[in-house]
Amino acid sequence: MGEAETPSFEMTWSSTTSSGYCSQEDSDSELEQYFTARTSLVRRPRRDQDEPGQRETPDLSQAETEQKIKDYNGQINSNLFMSLNKDGSYTGFIKVQLKLVRPVSVPSSKKPPSLQDARRGTGRSTAVKRRTSFYLPKDAIKHLHVLSRTRAREVIEALLRKFMVVDDPRKFALFERTERHGQVYFRKLSDDEQPLKLRLLAGPSEKALSFVLKENDSGEVNWDAFSMPELHNFLRILQREEEEHLRQILQKYSRCRQKIQEALHACPLG
């Protein structure tokens, strides 16, 4: 995406929860303390419902887009308006809630990113050898000023870049959250979907549509998204888990064998 298409971001925190900084380096032993196979590979049961597939969105004419924007702006109670550009595109704000369970990684040579760092737009290092992990504030809210042609993948990449997060963007996904009949539904946006267009079509209601950034926990693990130390760490953890399971199984059968032998000795002969 060229310079003219780079989205600008207005970021605000709505959570007072502070980040949990771990100050851990990207060595094999320290990785084990916060990035385990169990937290990364095991899927947790979800109470909310997932919706499959990409949503079909209608192509609006210039007049329809202009009317939609007028209707949208008339319904909001803030200054987060949408604006139509001369080329037919439009700009506006989307709100993204962060629901990240695992810590993120930043270059260890840098201090943990503050909100001021994010606004300055400090870029991510392209060659990071040592990293520090920390937890982003739980349920933090970001208001992002984006273009109508800004894609979901670009939103994720820009968020990570603003906070100097060096984790692979494929580890994260942007979700659409909707509420219907008292039930909450989540749908993972494809890389090419345009969040601002979805916002315009749905209107300003947060129940009708909101955006959430979460870990990209799919049915299959994308091993290419992990670094070499992380992959070696997974192998060690899996080996330890396998050894522990074997120990428990052998111990179980040993106890059972002992009980049977005790019962045989207690039986009278003949």
- Banded pLDDT at 3 (limits 50, 70, 90): very low
Q: Would you say how long the chain is, in residues?
A: 270
Given this model, what pLDDT does residue 161 score? 84
State the distance between the two ends of the chain, measured CA to CA, in whole angstroms.
89
The answer to whether the beta carbons of residues 47 and 185 sit under 8 Å apart is: no
**Range of weakest confidence among 10-14, 79-83, 109-113, 197-201:** 10-14
Topology of 49-105+128-220 in CATH?
A: Ubiquitin-like (UB roll) (3.10.20)
* pLDDT tens per residue across span 85-138: 999 999 999 999 889 888 888 887 655 555 555 555 554 444 445 778 778 887
Query: Which of the two residues, 132 and 72, has the higher pLDDT score?
Result: 72
pTM over 0.85: no
pLDDT in the model for residue 30 = 41
3-class secondary structure per residue, the chain: CCHHHCCCCCCCCCCCCCCEECCCCCCHHHHHHHCCHHHHHCCCCCCCEECCCCCCCCCCCHHHHHHHHHHHHHHCCCCCCCEECCCCCEEEEEEEEECCCCCEEEECCCCCCCHHHHHHCCCCCCCCCCEEEEECCCCCEEEEEEECCCCHHHHHHHHHHHCCCCCCHHHEEEEEEEEECCEEEEEECCCCCCHHHHHHHHCCCCCCCEEEEEECCCCCCCHHHCCHHHHHHHHHHHHHHHHHHHHHHHHHHHHHHHHHHHHHHHCCCC
Residue 195: the pLDDT is 96
